[in-house]
């Protein structure tokens, strides 16, 4: 995709692609970016790359959190099984261990009041279903997010290719100007 912007001025303050020439001519090129389709395209590609980088960073952070929560959920399932065994052995109610209680409250599977109290069979079964869902649901959402990430990366690669092509064209133009002088 090539975006053409006519009559717009960019006030992009990040390091400019193109090396020392772009740094020296930065203010002049910003004023005339709308006049020069190559510079306009280069600025647009740079903006797209910056935006995509932010989105990818956000996605990776969320994916890491979900993965860590799923791993913790799988670990806590054994504790829940042990608590269920105690209930089957004859205890009327059990209390959650502190770590499991914090995990359950942090992930909104139970309120603080519920998690702090004694739990019976039905409450523990409900909790186990929620924790199992959390442990298995990560793989389903990860697939959808992997597709989105591939789309982001594809757009990033397109923007990068476009930016590199513009830079190469500018080098070619500068080479011709220099050789004609």
Contacts of 85 (CB under 8 A, 6+ apart): none
Residue 20, in any domain of the structure: no
What pLDDT, on the 0 to 100 scale, is given for residue 39?
Answer: 75
Residue 147, in any domain of the structure: yes
Phi (first) and psi of residue 94, to 5 degrees: -130, 155
Residue 24, in any domain of the structure: no
58: containing domain:
33-180
Residue 156, in any domain of the structure: yes
Residue 17, in any domain of the structure: no
CA distances from 165 to 11, 17, 55, 124 (A): 22, 11, 24, 60
What pLDDT, on the 0 to 100 scale, is given for residue 23?
Answer: 40
Residue 169, in any domain of the structure: yes
- Tens-digit pLDDT profile for the chain (181 aa)? 444 443 444 344 444 444 333 444 444 445 445 677 777 777 877 787 788 788 878 877 887 888 888 888 988 999 999 999 999 998 888 999 999 999 999 988 999 999 899 999 999 999 999 999 888 865 556 676 777 778 878 877 887 888 788 888 888 988 999 898 8
Residue 126, in any domain of the structure: yes
What pLDDT, on the 0 to 100 scale, is given for residue 105?
Answer: 93
Contacts of 29 (CB under 8 A, 6+ apart): 16, 22, 36, 39
Tell whether pTM > 0.85: no
Question: Facing residues of 119 across strands?
Answer: 94
What pLDDT, on the 0 to 100 scale, is given for residue 10?
Answer: 39
Number of structural domains (the chain) is 1
CATH of the domain at 51: 1.10.287
Rounded distance between C-alpha atoms, residue 132 and residue 102, angstroms: 17
Indicate the Cα dihedral angle 159, 139, 95, 87, nearest 10°: 180
What pLDDT, on the 0 to 100 scale, is given for residue 22?
Answer: 40
Q: Answer for the pair 10, 33: CB distance below 8 angstroms, yes or no.
A: yes
What pLDDT, on the 0 to 100 scale, is given for residue 34?
Answer: 61
């Amino acid at each position: 995709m090539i975006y053409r912007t006519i009559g717009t001025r960019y006030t992009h303050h990040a390091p400019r692609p193109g090396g020392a020439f772009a740094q020296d001519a930065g203010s002049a090129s910003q004023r005339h970016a709308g006049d020069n389709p190559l510079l306009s395209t280069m600025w647009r590609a740079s903006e797209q790359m910056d935006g995509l980088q932010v989105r990818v960073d956000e996605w990776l952070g969320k994916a890491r959190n979900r993965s860590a929560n799923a791993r913790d959920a799988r670990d806590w399932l054994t504790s829940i099984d042990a608590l269920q065994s105690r209930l089957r052995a004859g205890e009327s109610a059990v209390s959650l261990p502190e770590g499991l209680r914090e995990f359950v409250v942090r992930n909104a599977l139970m309120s603080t009041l519920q998690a702090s109290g004694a739990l019976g069979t039905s409450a523990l079964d409900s909790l186990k279903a929620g924790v199992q869902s959390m442990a298995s649901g990560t793989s389903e959402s990860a697939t959808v997010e992997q597709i989105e990430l591939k789309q982001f990366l594809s757009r990033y690669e397109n923007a990068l290719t476009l930016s590199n092509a513009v830079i190469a064209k500018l080098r070619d133009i500068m080479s011709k100007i220099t050789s004609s002088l």
